[in-house]
Amino acid sequence: MTSSGREEGAHRPDSASYLPRQPQHHHHHHYHQPPPHRSSLLHPCAADRHGNGEDSTEDPSTPAPALSELRAVISWLQKGFPFILILLAKVCFQHKLGIAVCIGMASTFACANSTLKHQVSLREKRSVFVTFWILAFLTGNTVYLYYAFSTEELYNSLIFVRPNLVSLDFFYLIWVVGITDFVLKYLTIGLKCFILVLPRILLAFKSRGKFYLLIEELSQLFRALVPIQLWYKYIMGEDPSGSYLLGGVLIILYSLCKSFDICNRVGAIRKAVKMFCSSQSYGVRASSQQCSEAGDVCAICQAEFRDPVALMCQHVFCEECVCLWFDRERSCPLCRSAVIETLRCWKDGTTSAHFQTGSEQLSTGAGLGSLGSDGAARRSRIRIHWETAHVLFFLVFAQGNSDTTKSYVEYPPSASQSCSMRADVSRSEDRQPSAQPSSIKDQPGYVSIAEGLLDGRASPLLDRIQAETSRRKRAHAKGTAKRHVQQQPPQKVHKKETLLDQLIQDLNELNEIPFFDVELPYELALKIFQYLNRTELGRCAQVSKPWKALAEDEVLWYRLCMKEGYLTGASVSDSPCWKGTLRDCRNVEHTLRYNWKNRVGSVTHLQYELGKVLCDVSSCDGLVIAGYTSGDVRLWDTLHWDSGASYLRPSHVAMETALRPHISHVQINRTVAVAAYEDGAVDVWSTETGQEPIHHFQHLQKVQGLALGSDGATVASACGSQVRLDCPVDKGYWKMLYQTELQKPVEFLRLAPNTEEVPLAVASAAETVYLLRAEQDPSVLHSVYGHPVTCMDVSSSQAALGIKSGGWAMNDGNKIQVYSLQTGKTELAMGNSAGDFTCVNLRDSPPHLLVSGNKDRRVRVFDLRTGSSVTSLYAHHLGVSAVQTDDWKIVSGGEEGLVCVWEMRMGAKLWEMHNRHPVRHVRFSTNTLVTANIPDEKYPRGACITDDDLTAHRRHRGVIYLYDFSVDMSVLEHVLPICRSDYTESTGYNYNIGLAMPYDILTEPRSVV
């Protein structure tokens, strides 16, 4: 059979039976379906070609029943919608005056209501001129409306009298009730404006919310009573004798519904009167000590306390501020605990926008639209009868439906036309070149082929397949002609070779790609495989032995191990099997994450009995340093416990003093450890050489800030408004690299990491932040008057500042501003919190993330790419004091002494630990966590700290905890293997031994945190 015969056979339907293939006609093999077990990489290519014949019997142009109904509805809408628009346009034009009155009164009410609410929120800063303008504007609108429709006597409905109307139908009823409701709303707003303009001497601002509430409740009751007599007359009709029974039943139902509504409103008025007559108190008068503990600043107005009040949750606010707050909210502004039982929504001066049209709330648009343009004399001639409307809609529907049905029945798509259209579309798609991304075009050819195979596309191999098929056809034609010419029967040996060649050819035709066609060298194939991940390499290893040898190459798995962040800095020769190394690293990571989530590990208490009270703690890479009130400094190496706690001796100058001063600050990194004393002395030790200080210098006053970089030995210290940088020189001596004097005392000091060649220090003094570089004058990074800096942290390229808003900008809330250290410009401004930001961590956070703690008890994680909050957790009820995060967990410490571990994605608390003192230090690595509870009181009350019995003061000293989650709890020699099974195993018992909980992991009591 020729190639034309093969193309004709490709269009056969699936129902046609195939004839059995003769042994000598090998060119019919391409009609057979491929076997189900094929290569995962080569399957999409063959499936695309063989799927054309399978789907040829289905007619995609034949619509499903649901699709046909949808098309009919759409067609009806297309044909009937213009008629509906014409009808609506005619109705709107006939009632244009009523629609204009509706829009005008609604916009007037919305403007007046929002303006009054804004003026009420301003309290003593309200504008009397604006208030009188609201009164004049509403009065003018009302007078003009009643004057324009004086013949109807619409004002009679205000005193429960029927207006002068020709006939009372539904449209006139809704129109009159809507106009009356708007006028009553205007009257309500006028009364509230009168309360607003009263001077503060006559009526305090904190008491005006009760007046607003009472006026609104009375107004809603009166607005509900006004339309009753109109609805009674409409229901009974002009001639009640005609439908007396129906009118009586409807009157009874309306009376029941209306009575329930009026009873509810009377109950609301009774509660409002009770609240109006009683003096509501939200707390007790706060003492001076409570005010000082709260910072002498109200958290709402950000000013000094005026008549401070302490709530039940012990938070202190100004009395007027908290009264205005509880007019809108029912919970405390800081802790969100409930203070009042019910929330009154009308104490802020707002007027209800609902229409009191009867037993239910209806819109007045249709009612106001019933007023025509020719006056009252022509209203009866412009009414639209419901019967006429029904007939019009029926005609429109019938016309659209008949046209749709006709078009659908007379012109159904035939199967032949659909097949031809599909063939044309497929041919046009084959002629149209596929658009490839620019990234694929820029890559080498073998890379694009590999990516196409992994994505399930056969387009990168189409040219190669076509060329290979043409070559195979020509070779097969030559072989067939040669066999026809030769008359002699083939020998046995030649017959075996022919069958083997035929088998190979059949496999090639079956798989479309030559099965034994190996054309790429090993190095080139390795370059292709380096773009695959772990899952794709595992799939490739199942294809064949050559592919398995490529997929298990050590270089590929070494690169994957480095890419995922394991064993950085290692070489290829460091491990005999990098695939197993990567598997072990992932298992260790999984175990560590499990231990973190379930609090499995060991805990160590780092303490020094003779040190008295703990003053400051710092940690870095397994090194923990602590300073005490006795003047002692202790260093623990948690990676080598044999060395114990190292005693860092002070300099000779400090040892000569009789009473050694307290430690004020300590810092440590991989190279040096630094301690600052209360008298201004600073000692520097090496973490490698020994216990004697390698450098000592003296400040004139107490050191306010101490900073170290991530690496190197540069030391930054601040005393008052003076900042000093010290670093060692090449010969081992130390020198003062930089010293400057700022305008105000320094509060925060940080050294940017990875800047050891040219050290960069960031200092904060009140509301100004400076950049300090050697041999350069200080440059201002941030300075806004009245916006002090409450916390600060820096990375190698950015600085994050917690800014406290005050004055005119306090409504925007406190924010975190991120600056670029290279350009000195603001990159982001994030957050909008009522409380001050107490801590921020940028240096130890993952890329593009920042974590912060606030006095409003929340821990927030921000995305530096978008400036939005990723996670917000209600963490500590006394405020957050320390925080750190990584890619999946958050560790926070609070003023109340709690250390909490959170899961970032779910926002759930995993576990917590408590101590009596505030948490001042939190630092964790992959497998360890260091926390420090440092007391604020350095001189415990009730006893002398110099007594011999030091155990009596143990609760006042503070504590340092080291949590180690790398302990393998499954390796326990005295526990049976059956009891060490976990939920990842398929079975939980062996040898017919049954346990109550076979999957529990048994651990020692001391090993669980």
pLDDT for position 511 = 62
Handedness of CA 270, 271, 272, 273 (dihedral sign): positive
> Taking Cα atoms as reference points, which of 176, 363, 358 lies closest to residue 255?
358
- CA dist 269 → 222, 263, 556 (Å): 11, 10, 79
pLDDT for position 218 = 86
Per-residue pLDDT band for 345 (boundaries 50, 70, 90) equals low
Per-residue pLDDT band for 329 (boundaries 50, 70, 90) equals confident
Write out the two tokens for 942: 């009730």
pLDDT for position 139 = 87
Is residue 885 pLDDT above 90, yes or no?
yes
Q: What is the mean pLDDT of the chain?
A: 74
Q: What is the mean pLDDT of residues 755-771?
A: 89
Mean pLDDT lowest for which of 550-564, 605-619, 976-990? 976-990
Give the ranges where 347-491 is alpha helix by DSSP (H): 365-368, 386-410, 415-431, 438-442, 445-454, 462-485
Give the span between the Cα atoms of 108 and 118, in whole angstroms. Answer: 16
Is residue 20 pLDDT above 70, yes or no?
no
> Taking Cα atoms as reference points, which of 294, 298, 290 lies closest to residue 323?
298
Exposed, middle or buried, 387 (CB in 10 Å: 0-12/13-18/19+)? exposed
- Strands 316-318 and 602-606 turn out to be unpaired
Give the ranges where 432-544 is alpha helix by DSSP (H): 438-442, 445-454, 462-485, 492-511, 522-529, 534-540
Exposed, middle or buried, 713 (CB in 10 Å: 0-12/13-18/19+)? buried
pLDDT for position 21 = 42
Q: What is the mean pLDDT of residues 889-896?
A: 96
> Degrees (nearest 5) of the Cα angle 79, 84, 85?
100
Would you say 131 and 197 are in contact if contact means Cβ atoms under 8 Å apart?
Answer: yes
Give per-residue pLDDT as tens, 99-117.
777 788 888 888 888 888 8
Is residue 37 pLDDT above 50, yes or no?
no
pLDDT for position 495 = 44
Angle in degrees, 0-180, between the axes of helices 96-122 and 128-148, rounded to the nearest 10: 160
pLDDT for position 582 = 92
Handedness of CA 205, 206, 207, 209 (dihedral sign): positive
Is residue 946 pLDDT above 80, yes or no?
no
pLDDT for position 19 = 36
**Helix or strand or coil: residue 82?**
helix
Query: DSSP E strands: which ranges in 784-907?
Result: 789-794, 798-803, 814-820, 826-833, 837-841, 849-854, 858-863, 869-874, 880-885, 889-894, 898-903
| Higher per-residue confidence, 826 vs 390 | 826
- CA dist 962 → 38, 116, 922 (Å): 55, 59, 10
Per-residue pLDDT band for 584 (boundaries 50, 70, 90) equals very high
Per-residue pLDDT band for 807 (boundaries 50, 70, 90) equals low
Q: What is the mean pLDDT of residues 150-176?
A: 73
- CA dist 632 → 568, 611, 627, 742, 944 (Å): 38, 6, 6, 31, 19
pLDDT for position 655 = 63
| Higher per-residue confidence, 502 vs 13 | 502
> Taking Cα atoms as reference points, which of 85, 111, 145 lies closest to residue 368?
145
Is residue 171 pLDDT above 90, yes or no?
no
pLDDT for position 610 = 80
Q: What is the mean pLDDT of residues 248-272?
A: 81
Q: What is the mean pLDDT of residues 389-398?
A: 31
Is residue 862 pLDDT above 90, yes or no?
yes
pLDDT for position 840 = 97
Give per-residue pLDDT as tens, 917-934.
999 999 999 999 999 999
> Taking Cα atoms as reference points, which of 944, 952, 912 lies closest to residue 929?
912
Would you say 759 and 725 are in contact if contact means Cβ atoms under 8 Å apart?
Answer: yes
Give the span between the Cα atoms of 639 and 643, in whole angstroms. Answer: 10
Give per-residue pLDDT as tens, 2-11.
333 433 333 4
Give per-residue pLDDT as tens, 209-238.
778 888 888 888 888 888 887 777 777 776
pLDDT for position 328 = 67
Is residue 851 pLDDT above 70, yes or no?
yes
Mean pLDDT lowest for which of 270-274, 495-499, 767-771, 773-777? 495-499
Other Cβ atoms less than 10 A from the Cβ of 770: the count is 21
Give the span between the Cα atoms of 484 and 486, in whole angstroms. Answer: 6
pLDDT for position 366 = 33
Other Cβ atoms less than 10 A from the Cβ of 781: the count is 21
Is residue 414 pLDDT above 90, yes or no?
no
pLDDT for position 277 = 79
Q: What is the mean pLDDT of residues 7-30?
A: 40
Among 157-161, 254-258, 565-569, the range of highest mean pLDDT: 565-569
Give the 3-state secondary structure of 925-952. Answer: CCCEEEEEECCCCCCCCCCCCCCCCHHH
Write out the two tokens for 65: 């029943």
- CA dist 207 → 94, 162, 592, 629 (Å): 50, 39, 59, 53
Other Cβ atoms less than 10 A from the Cβ of 85: the count is 10
Give per-residue pLDDT as tens, 53-97.
344 444 444 445 667 788 888 888 777 888 888 888 887 777 677
| Higher per-residue confidence, 593 vs 204 | 593
Per-residue pLDDT band for 330 (boundaries 50, 70, 90) equals low
Give per-residue pLDDT as tens, 132-146.
888 888 888 888 888
| Higher per-residue confidence, 483 vs 1000 | 483
Tokens 């759409």 -> residue: 74
Give per-residue pLDDT as tens, 617-652.
999 989 999 999 988 999 999 888 765 568 888 886
Would you say 775 and 738 are in contact if contact means Cβ atoms under 8 Å apart?
Answer: yes
Would you say 970 and 590 are in contact if contact means Cβ atoms under 8 Å apart?
Answer: no
**DSSP assignment, residue 4?**
H
Would you say 720 and 704 are in contact if contact means Cβ atoms under 8 Å apart?
Answer: yes
Would you say 645 and 608 are in contact if contact means Cβ atoms under 8 Å apart?
Answer: yes
Phi, psi angle pair for 845, to nearest 5°:
-85, 160
Is residue 696 pLDDT above 80, yes or no?
yes
